A and B are shown apart, each in its own frame.
Chain A
Amino acid sequence: MTLTAEPQALNFECETGNYHTFCPISCVAWLYQKIEDSFFLVIGTKTCGYFLQNAMGVMIFAEPRYAMAELEEGDISAQLNDYAELKRLCEQIKRDRNPSVIVWIGTCTTEIIKMDLEGLAPKLEAEIGIPIVVARANGLDYAFTQGEDTVLASMAARCPDKAPVIESDKKERNAIASLLNFGKKKEDIDIENSEYAKHPPLVLFGSLPDPVVTNLTLELKKQGIQVSGWLPAKRYTELPVIEEGYYVCGVNPFLSRTATTLMRRRKAKLINAPFPIGPDGTKAWIESICAAMGITPKGLVEREAQIWASMEDYLQLIRGKSVFFMGDNLLEVSLARFLIRAGMHVQEIGIPYMDKRYQDSELELLKKTCFEMNSPMPTIVEKPDNYNQIERIHQLKPDLVITGMAHANPLEARGISTKWSVEFTFAQIHGFTNARDILELVTRPLRRNHNLKDLGWDKLVREGVRANI
């Protein structure tokens, strides 16, 4: 191979879309916890309720700030008035919980019966005095994490468009700034502000647990970059200001609608970057932001090397092993890229939906990583077909399959190690600090297998039992 050789092109395929994933309404599970003063009302049927109730497990018993507006036959046949019904329920929510925002989650049913949620919301909002944000997170159009995308895209429209003039006001408005300032006096803040380079305001988007938010914010601070706000913030009342010309950057690969909304409707400039998943991704993410801000990044190469070195014990377990992503949460490309850098061979990257523009930098980094690690280009399979995938898994015999819970136990019973994909959505995986946590997840089945390896019971289905769905 010569040094001038160009990385090969990535291979994209599209199958039938017959795959298992969570319904996008599941985003309420983490968003109601993230946005503390919100209330999520899912307008749908028993099917939606049953899914949420079972998927959220114990959280359901902790008086969650979400509920179903369960549609009955009278709602479907329009014998009942949608507006009156929603008003009745929202008033009850206001009375019982007094939230700062009610998010209506539109479902498949509201789509099919064409319930005009976007039309009803402003009227009802004016009447009851609580903002109502509408997100159509339905299974007709979206998969799993894309639910968050629809909610944040709607929230983007609610961000204030003018920075308040008064400094103290700004402090309240901007949770991150005040978090980092810890209530210091104005003069101190001015001194501290001088620690930041002069650059246009930057707002990050994507819902992350608060410790990860703080972590990434501080990571950028080390480069002299100030984060003016996050979409979403801890509270709805703290949504960041987004003025025309602000820079925005995503932290998760499934936020393409939010990115589009910020660019088109809020006239913000999108920094297209790989996502801060894995130390390689985090470094590339910070570099892209620095580049957009005209800042030379410092210390990143050492930082990345140090993180890789600290994970050597885990890396030894996975080097040279193969991995197969069945695809269900859109984190697949970023995770695959990280695992290739970590020395694994990726056989297939299944993914529900591939936005090549929004994920452009991530895809470039994937290509570059494959080239540098001398690893074959994996095929990216959009809208995969689980049946075909399981055939391929039986053929390829990967060392690890990253898949949903529907397939995990049956695959394990056939001697194929699996990692449950949903955990990647809920675990803290962003930034330098959390890279080890990703490998903790990835290596868990391998470590377990190592512990049990001499027992001779890795295949636990009888010969002749159907191998497939």
Chain B
Amino acid sequence: MKLAYWMYAGPAHIGTLRVATSFKNVQAIMHAPIGDDYFNVMRSMLERSRDFTPVTTSVVDRHVLARGSGEKVIDNIVRKDVEGSPDLIILTPTCTSSILQEDLHNFVEQAQMSAKCDVMLADVNHYRVNELQAGDRTLEQVVKFYIEKARKKGELPTAKTSKPSVNILGISTLGFHNHHDCTELKRLMADLGIEVNLVIPEGASVHDLKKLPQAWFNLVPYRELGGMAAKYLELEFGTPCVDITPMGVVETARCIRKIQEVLNAQGADVDYEEFINEQTLYVSEAAWFSRSIDCQNLTGKKAVVFGDSTHAAAMTKILVREMGINVVWAGTYCKYDEEWFRKEVSEYCEEVLITEDHGLIGDAIARVEPSAIFGTQMERHVGKRLNIPCGVIAAPIHVQNFPIGYKPFLGYEGTNQVCDLVYNSFTLGMEDHLLEIFGGHDTKEVITKGISAGADMNWSKEAKATLQQIPGFVRGKVKRNTEKFARDRQVSEITLEVFYAAKESVGA
């Protein structure tokens, strides 16, 4: 047992439902007790979905415990087949079905005999995988199912498209800024003269999946979703996969160069260097921003980064490589992907944190006292408590992270958005401290955030006044360091002299 107040990644069935409901005309039936269909509420509220979420429950209640849910599950599948005429019904196990250990495979087979649509059981185990892993698996499972089906029927097209084309894998419902990213990626592909063969799962029909092998390559923008399906397609059809997240100027260029390499290997003869150059120097504002005085002011400022693998890694690189910001630590809650994450970020930050424990993250933020945090909604709240600004870069997210306006994180427009996010986070902090320096309205007596800085130290009037002029967000630290300095030297009163001596000595 684990005492938990907050979790970063949801349970497995959420991942399956995200993939299932991203497809067009796919119905998910959860094998779960009453109340486990909270997914529908999230989709309806966070994504403000106009359509009914195609998720229903085959309810597990007392009767089911006594008699098993065989008939009921089969009836529910057959009923949904008639009512909604979906292309596919995905029976979704939950934590409850994991322990009931009923033969859901068998129910699916039986239901398949009477249902017109395809029926499948999502192959995920609640106790082994989380939301992200489950989503990746389910996507692979659906792709595989329809490739094999088409192959059996002899309907699998084998020829590649005449012009270079791409499948974009991993865009899904409830994904962080996924819809905007998808638009931006399509735009980027159009600029590169690449046709988009298929985007999955969002908005795709399962009947189109057989077209997947026609693409020249697969683009997997997110580390968390689509990797398994891409690997499957590579094994089956030799379709190369580009899995560099085009987030940030440098990574976007790297992604495009990789695409160029992949296409030229298939005889496309494309050269994107001119495009990259043009975009980087004149279209995207990000490269210019990094040279501007605004960004110069951010040099060496301390930040911490936490989120899913994709966004935390990309953000760390952007902050360090493109803006000269000092990322003290970067972390992810994708524990299962630790090795990859470490490899990606270790040269950019002093420390790598891999944990699912929000308490540890909160403490690590308090310890470092960064000028800005880039994290999830949880880190935003830690920031609120510590008075440190936070830019939200990854799920878990709230309704305000599903903006109506166009806000991609990927591609060249994404680089502009990220600049705004970073700059706004830091300037908020700056504004705050300028206000405190010049406004003089700060009459707060309390200057620490509760971590005992020793109430028994004597500060001279002048020293105290000077301390008050230190910007709010570093004042606590300055005070602690100065007192430590004084204590170490057995000085009982902190005068201006001691204050400056401490500053010189420890850089407080």
A68 within 8 A of B: yes
CB of B48 to closest CB in A, whole Å: 6
Known contacts A72-B2, A76-B127, A468 near B56 by CB under 8 Å: no
CB of A267 to closest CB in B, whole Å: 29
Residue of A nearest to B95 (CB): A45
Among B11, B36, B41, B57, which residue has its beta carbon within 8 angstroms of that of A404? B41
Q: Which of A61, A109, A111, A352 has the most CB of B within 10 A?
A: A61
B14 within 8 A of A: yes
A468 to B53, CA, bound (A): 9
Taking CB atoms, residues of chain B closer than 8 Å to A352 are 34
Residue of B nearest to A66 (CB): B5
B83 within 8 A of A: yes
B439 within 8 A of A: no
Taking CB atoms, residues of chain B closer than 8 Å to A50 are 7, 10-11, 14, 38
Known contacts A109-B95, A140-B65, A410 near B51 by CB under 8 Å: yes
Known contacts A86-B1, A407-B44, A466 near B52 by CB under 8 Å: yes
Taking CB atoms, residues of chain B closer than 8 Å to A469 are 52-54, 56, 84
A334 within 8 A of B: no
Among A113, A386, A460, which residue has its beta carbon within 8 angstroms of that of B99? A113
Contact A23 B51 (CB under 8 A): no
0/1 per residue, B113-144, Cβ < 8 Å to A? 00000000000001110100000000000000
Taking CB atoms, residues of chain A closer than 8 Å to B41 are 20, 54-55, 404-406
Contact B56 A387 (CB under 8 A): yes
B211 within 8 A of A: no
Among A64, A144, A413, which residue has its beta carbon within 8 angstroms of that of B35? A144
A143 within 8 A of B: yes
Contact A109 B96 (CB under 8 A): yes
CB of A46 to closest CB in B, whole Å: 4
Contact A466 B61 (CB under 8 A): no
Contact A109 B99 (CB under 8 A): yes
Known contacts A71-B1, A468-B84, A112 near B45 by CB under 8 Å: no
A22 within 8 A of B: yes
Residue of A nearest to B59 (CB): A17
Contact A54 B38 (CB under 8 A): yes
Among A21, A70, A112, A461, which residue has its beta carbon within 8 angstroms of that of B96? A112
Contact B11 A46 (CB under 8 A): yes
0/1 per residue, B92-112, Cβ < 8 Å to A? 001110111000000000000
Residue of A nearest to B398 (CB): A57
A236 to B5, CA, bound (A): 22
A293 to B349, CA, bound (A): 74
Taking CB atoms, residues of chain A closer than 8 Å to B40 are 20, 406
Contact B6 A60 (CB under 8 A): yes
B489 within 8 A of A: no
Known contacts A46-B126, A68-B5, A466 near B51 by CB under 8 Å: yes
Residue of A nearest to B9 (CB): A46
A24 to B61, CA, bound (A): 14
CB of A205 to closest CB in B, whole Å: 24
A61 to B398, CA, bound (A): 13
Taking CB atoms, residues of chain B closer than 8 Å to A70 are 1-4
A410 to B5, CA, bound (A): 32
Which residues, 359 to 394 on A, are CB-close (under 8 Å) to B? 386-387, 390
B: number of interface residues (CB 8 Å): 55
Interface residues on A, range: 35 or more
CB of B16 to closest CB in A, whole Å: 12
A108 within 8 A of B: yes
Among B32, B49, B52, B99, which residue has its beta carbon within 8 angstroms of that of A76? B99
Residue of A nearest to B385 (CB): A61
A291 within 8 A of B: no
A248 to B52, CA, bound (A): 43
A386 to B37, CA, bound (A): 13
Contact B52 A468 (CB under 8 A): yes
CB of B66 to closest CB in A, whole Å: 11
B324 within 8 A of A: no
A214 within 8 A of B: no
B498 within 8 A of A: no
A25 to B34, CA, bound (A): 11
Contact A140 B49 (CB under 8 A): no
A80 to B94, CA, bound (A): 22
Taking CB atoms, residues of chain B closer than 8 Å to A390 are 52
Q: Which of B2, B7, B40, B56 has the most CB of A within 10 A?
A: B2
CB of B97 to closest CB in A, whole Å: 10
Name B's A-contacting residues (CB within 8 A).
1-7, 10-11, 13-14, 32-38, 40-42, 44-45, 48-54, 56-57, 59-62, 65, 76, 83-84, 94-96, 98-100, 126-128, 130, 378, 381, 384, 396, 398
Name A's B-contacting residues (CB within 8 A).
17-25, 43, 45-47, 49-51, 53-55, 57, 60-61, 64, 66-73, 75-76, 80, 85-86, 88-89, 92-93, 108-109, 111-113, 138-144, 352, 386-387, 390, 404-410, 413, 460-461, 465-466, 468-469
* Nearest 3 Cβ contacts at the A-B interface: A23-B35, A139-B33, A413-B50
Q: Can you identify 19 A-B contacts, CB atoms within 8 angstroms?
A: A18-B56, A22-B35, A46-B126, A53-B6, A53-B7, A54-B42, A68-B5, A70-B4, A86-B1, A109-B95, A111-B65, A139-B34, A142-B34, A409-B49, A410-B51, A465-B51, A468-B52, A468-B84, A469-B54
Give 18 new A-B contacts, CB below 8 A, not counting A46-B95, A88-B1, A112-B96. Answer: A17-B59, A23-B35, A69-B2, A69-B3, A70-B4, A72-B2, A73-B128, A108-B33, A108-B95, A113-B99, A140-B33, A144-B35, A405-B44, A406-B37, A409-B45, A410-B44, A410-B51, A413-B50
